[in-house]
Amino acid sequence: MTHESELREEYSKLLRGFLESGDERYLYDIENISKEFVRANIGPDYILEAHLNTLNKIVSEFPVDKAVYIYNKASEPLFNLMVAYATAYHDYIAMNEERYLREKQLADELNDANRNQEMFISIMSHDIRSPLTAVVGYSGLIQKWSNDDEKIKRFAEKIEMTAMEIDRMIESIRTYSRVKKGNSKEDFDEIDLKVTLSEIFEFLDEKIQVHGTKIERRYRTDRDYMALGTEFLKNAYLNILDNAIKYSPKNSIISVTLDDTGSDLKFGVADHGDGVPDEMKEAVFERFTRNDKCGIKGSGIGLAIARHAIESHGGKVWIEDNPGGGCIFYVTVPKA
Amino acid sequence: MSDAEETIPIKDEYAIVAARSAGKTISSKCGFGLVDQTRISTAISELARNILVYAVTGTVYIREVAADGKHGIEVVAEDHGPGIVNLDLAMTDGHTTGGGLGAGLPGTKRLMDEFDIISAVGEGTTVTVRKWL
């Protein structure tokens, strides 16, 4: 016998018991069985059918006047059943909804974790491979020039620097993972964006020289632009500026602005490159999307990380067209 | 004014039936119709069952009450069980620790007009519900 027909049989017995004795006990048992109906996912139409079938069978055993009395009396257990059924069903829906929300939240967290992991693997395999190539290359050169102390010293220095670069990358991955987990309070410092920018220009100096880029600072140097930020926010600005230099024609001008008139600090970088078409303005912040241009190095991961970092500081980043050609990257972060 | 009153010690399922029955008798006497009588007896079942499941034994008091010109029925379910550790959670739809179809508490609250719960961990739980005519 299936569970459905068992429950139906059971209900028939209880209904008959109540109609014959009028005992409250049957109503209590009917209340309990109604929960079983909900649990077994048996619909009210099916229960009603079971009720009517049983009732008809019982009624057929009695003369007409008694039959009417039984019919009337049978409304009470049915009503009890339906109230208990509806109450249990209401609980059941609420329980499922809560479970669904909980599962959805877990699934989202898991997806996030997976995406992060993929990103780490990407960084590892793409960005760390190129400095490693340098390490291998210089090691080979040391073996080849094993008699030339001067050369060996220079190559060893290169290897040391490259190793330190790898270390910085690993550190940034760790920071990134912390940023994604939610910045802890101690990671935040008050930073003056004007100072941060100066540090970045110094860091990028060689690249700026090689590219012949002219940096135009369009903000006041006698003023503080204070924000609450982590090392990772600084890296995001670095990344965007690095990007602008990379995508600009040689010997062109890049304008950098800082605006503190609103509630946020707005940073802008305008270049005179080829610009970013509208359909790519969002996509460049996804991983491995690059506004394809031959001869440009990088794994296409920098802007994705930058956006994560900026957003985790409560900020925004987006691209607009530069009226004079090229594009403008904007970054806003809340003031400190 | 309120003369109908019943005290039912809850120690097994038969006692739940007795409490239901008493609830129905008193609510009918108060003048509640069949729909409300069913609501009240379903609520009493839930409260008494909670006692049985969580506290093993307890007491259900059912009485006619009058207040602020209103007239109705009051059910108090009292036990000296473990108490409810997280009241907010117990009042959440679908939450259960007793292996039921979700705690009867939210369902009970919906069936009645007033619902009060006092619970102390290690001391017990008292649930008071009222329905007005």
Q: Tens of pLDDT along A74-100? A: 988 998 899 889 988 888 888 888 888
Q: Tens of pLDDT along B33-88? A: 988 999 999 999 999 998 998 888 999 999 999 988 899 999 999 999 888 877 77
- Give a yes or no: residue A202 inside a domain: yes
Total domains in chain A come to 3
The whole domain housing A24 covers 3-100
- Give a yes or no: residue A106 inside a domain: no
- Give a yes or no: residue A119 inside a domain: no
Residue where a domain terminates, one of A150, A165, A181: A181
Query: How many Å apart are CA A258 and CA A265, to the nearest integer?
Result: 7
Q: What are phi and psi of B40, to 5 degrees?
A: -65, -45
Residue where a domain terminates, one of A100, A116, A136: A100
A289 shares its domain with A236: yes
Mean pLDDT calculated for residue range B116-133: 91
A152 shares its domain with A246: no
Q: Tens of pLDDT along A270-286? A: 999 888 889 888 888 87
Of A24, A39, A84, the CB nearest to B42: A84
Which residues of B are less than 8 Å from A39 in CB distance? 101
A96 shares its domain with A147: no
> Measured between CB atoms, does B110 come within 8 Å of chain A?
yes
- Give a yes or no: residue A117 inside a domain: no
Residue A172's pLDDT band (boundaries 50, 70, 90)?
low
Instruction: Say yes or no for a CB contact (<8 Å) between A25 and B14.
Output: yes
Q: Which residue has the higher pLDDT, A324 or A185?
A: A324
Q: A89: domain CATH number?
A: 1.10.1240
State the Cα angle at A228 between A222 and A233, rounded to 5°: 95
Q: How many CA atoms lie within 13 A of A18 on its CB side?
A: 27
A321 shares its domain with A199: yes
Residue B20's pLDDT band (boundaries 50, 70, 90)?
very high
Query: How many Å apart are CA A252 and CA A106, to the nearest integer?
Result: 49
A176 shares its domain with A300: no
- Give a yes or no: residue A228 inside a domain: yes
A135 shares its domain with A234: no
- Give a yes or no: residue A20 inside a domain: yes
pLDDT (0 to 100) of residue B93: 61
> Measured between CB atoms, does B25 come within 8 Å of chain A?
no
Compute the nearest-CA separation of A80 from chain B (Å).
Answer: 6
Query: How many Å apart are CA A17 and CA A61, to the nearest integer?
Result: 15
A251 shares its domain with A160: no
Q: Identify the closest residue of chain B to A39 by CA–CA distance.
A: B101
A55 shares its domain with A14: yes
- Give a yes or no: residue A120 inside a domain: no
A197 shares its domain with A147: no
A80 shares its domain with A213: no
Classify residue B121 by its DSSP letter.
Answer: T
Of A25, A79, A87, the CB nearest to B111: A87
Which residues of B are less than 8 Å from A35 in CB distance? 100-101
A259 shares its domain with A323: yes
Query: How many Å apart are CA A261 and CA B34, to the nearest integer?
Result: 69
Crossing angle of helices B104-111 and B34-50, rounded to 10°: 150
Q: Among A85, A91, A97, A101, which would you mutate to test the B interface (most chain B Cβ atoms within 10 Å of its Cβ)?
A: A91
Kindly list the structural domains of chain B, giving each domain's residue range(s) and its CATH number in brackets, ordered by start: 5-132 (3.30.565.10)
Q: Which helix (H) or strand (E) holds A304?
A: helix A302-312
- Give a yes or no: residue A280 inside a domain: yes
pLDDT at A185 over 70: no
> Measured between CB atoms, does A107 come within 8 Å of chain B?
no
A203 shares its domain with A86: no
Q: A229: domain CATH number?
A: 3.30.565.10
- Could you tell me the two tokens for B33? 């119709």
